[in-house]
Amino acid sequence: MQGQSFLDHLVVTVRGGETRCPYPAIETTLTLDPGTGGSGAAAFVPMKSSSVGPPSGGNGGAGGDIYFETSSHVTSLAAVPKRIRAGNGLNGQGSYRHGKRGADTVVRLPVGTVIKEISRESEAEKIARDEAALEMDDEERRRVRRARMFIKHPMGEITEDDYLYAERLLAKEQRALNLHEAAQARDKIQIDIDRPLDQPLLITRGGTGGLGNPHFIDPAQPHRAARLASRGATPSTITLALELKLIA
């Protein structure tokens, strides 16, 4: 789906010239969960011999985005759900089959809604919180993070060099847990919808899909089977305050 981004509204505020009442008619909170990207596949072309063929895992599909739009049929925030989720991307499969993109979600709001971001928690922040609660040492933390980042082919050995090369590749493409959010816009959402929107407004994007194992062929070891694929990214969970002001 194509639409405006909330960043557009940080530059040009929607103004219709209406006179506002000085008090809100209703307030509510809304939590947004964009779709998680599907995981890439760790698969190989079947061979008649016992050796594995070329890597053939497809990429995961991107997670769905969340949009806001205005509707003349919506006059209150009472019907807006407290939590909005977009569809997750589907996992890649063998034979170079890529996963399907997750479905977008469009939230209909009444004109006069003021939207302010309350909080945002990224995947990396969630992981760090879990690690602190479990009091993990460095080795356990590395093991758990790798399990969250990668899919392993069930047969064959994964070496430390395999992991290091895969981690460098993800970091280069800004797909690592600590870099994915840095690549996204971190401006706080603050929108005043004073008139009907001409098109759906993009609020937050879904996570990128994971990479299939063909991406993890190490040029320094071209004959070594690539047995790792990456998991899709989980985007930030965002909580918003919605306020509907009466328009006279």
Task: Quick: pLDDT tens for 234-244.
Answer: 999 999 999 99
The answer to whether the beta carbons of residues 29 and 242 sit under 8 Å apart is yes
What was the pLDDT predicted at 176?
A: 59
pTM: 0.83
Counting Cβ atoms within 10 Å, is residue 102 exposed (0-12), middle (13-18) or buried (19+)? buried
**Rounded Cα–Cα distance for residues 208 and 173 (Å):** 11
What was the pLDDT predicted at 50?
A: 65
**Rounded Cα–Cα distance for residues 208 and 211 (Å):** 9
The low-confidence residues of the chain, meaning pLDDT below 50, are 6-25, 178-180, 182-183
